[in-house]
Amino acid sequence: MPLTQGVHVSGQILALVGRQGQSPPSTPQAAAQLVGALLRHLREQRGLNQGEVVAAVPVIGSVPTLSRYERAAVPFKEDRVFALLHFYRAPQETVGEAEMLMRRSHGQEWWASYSDVVGELLASLFALESTSKVIRVYQETNIPGMLQTAGYARAVMTDYYRAQHNAEIRRKNLATVDRRLEMRLRRQHLLDQPNAPAFEALIAEAVLTKELGGALVMREQLRHLYNLAENKPNVHIRILPGSAMRQNSPLHPAMTLFKPHSPETGRTVYLENKNRGGEFLADPGEVETFQASMDDWWTRALPKQESLKRLVDYINRLADELEG
């Protein structure tokens, strides 16, 4: 009963059985627990005990097996889960989401193969990205990671790791740059999917003035931004001019708002702290405050054509510098 590719995790299961403010699952066990909680919820919703379900769905085999499935205490066999969902008459969208969660529970999300460089915080971030309908980013430090070229990303990571005071940690981190770069570029494939989220990037003009990696790398990066803004319909890039920030500035220098597909699932804000990881905000009041700030600053940004023109201005300056 597997569904076709392209099904996204809308957050309906999370809204049904998750805790208030809970983010999409970033680990296999968290995904499995959601599937188990869904099976228990559907059974209880229909007023059935486990024995009655096992009698009606023989493929389950026994009450202890069903109990283990509902507690996510054993790896799922998809045919059994699909049989249960069919018996409970779960909506097709719920079945599709459960399929995606089972895939995640088996460690089949793309970032599972990068566990050597993806910790819990990054895994949570990637899970949110993969379940969002709209992603809005504000950056006044660097080009957003989802839009970085390989050369620029390498320069950002190298600059960060070289700032590490401990020589041994610095050496170990620098040795992982190639692997982390591969992971960062793989992450960008999300924007190429048929059901890709809308990606809205608000970039402070000061970011364009930095020459991370040198003039050639920066020119390539700005050309890449121009091409994305001009040719990729789900990517929207706006430049926040320096003049807009003379008297005040956004609430945080690097923040991301995630809007899910399902309105029943709460929005989330991620605040990136340079050199210190980041934090997620799920409290509705806090999220509303940061969203209002991002909405306000989006209105102060240059419109699309003027943003493109500003990018061209900086590209030309770098070209002149390289020719000089």
Split at pLDDT 50, 70, 90, the class of 284 is confident
Q: Would the pLDDT of 263 be above 70? A: no
Question: Using CA atoms, how far apart are residues 221 and 228, in angstroms rounded to an integer?
Answer: 11
Question: Using CA atoms, how far apart are residues 268 and 284, in angstroms rounded to an integer?
Answer: 8
- DSSP SS3 for 244: helix
Question: Using CA atoms, how far apart are residues 14 and 30, in angstroms rounded to an integer?
Answer: 11
Please return the burial class of 57, using the count of CB atoms within 10 Å of its CB with bins 0-12, 13-18 and 19+. Answer: middle
**Beta pairing partners, 200:** 136, 236
Question: Using CA atoms, how far apart are residues 242 and 160, in angstroms rounded to an integer?
Answer: 25
Angle between helices 78-87 and 63-70 (to 10 degrees): 90
- CB 309: neighbour CB atoms within 10 A? 13
Question: Pseudo-torsion of CA 160, 164, 167, 168, nearest 10°?
Answer: -80
Q: Which two tokens stand for residue 224?
A: 């890449």
pTM: 0.76
Q: pLDDT for 86-117, tens place per residue?
A: 999 998 888 888 888 888 787 777 888 898 99
Q: 287 vs 120, 228, 268, 298, CA distance in Å? A: 21, 28, 6, 16
Q: Would the pLDDT of 10 be above 60? A: no
In the chain, the domains with their CATH numbers are 12-108 (1.10.260), 116-148+187-323 (3.30.870.10)
Q: Which two tokens stand for residue 276?
A: 């210190």
Mean pLDDT of 179-198: 94
Q: Which residue has the higher pLDDT, 113 or 266?
A: 113
Q: How many residues does the chain have?
A: 324
Question: Using CA atoms, how far apart are residues 122 and 216, in angstroms rounded to an integer?
Answer: 29
Instruction: Give the per-residue pLDDT at 182.
Output: 96
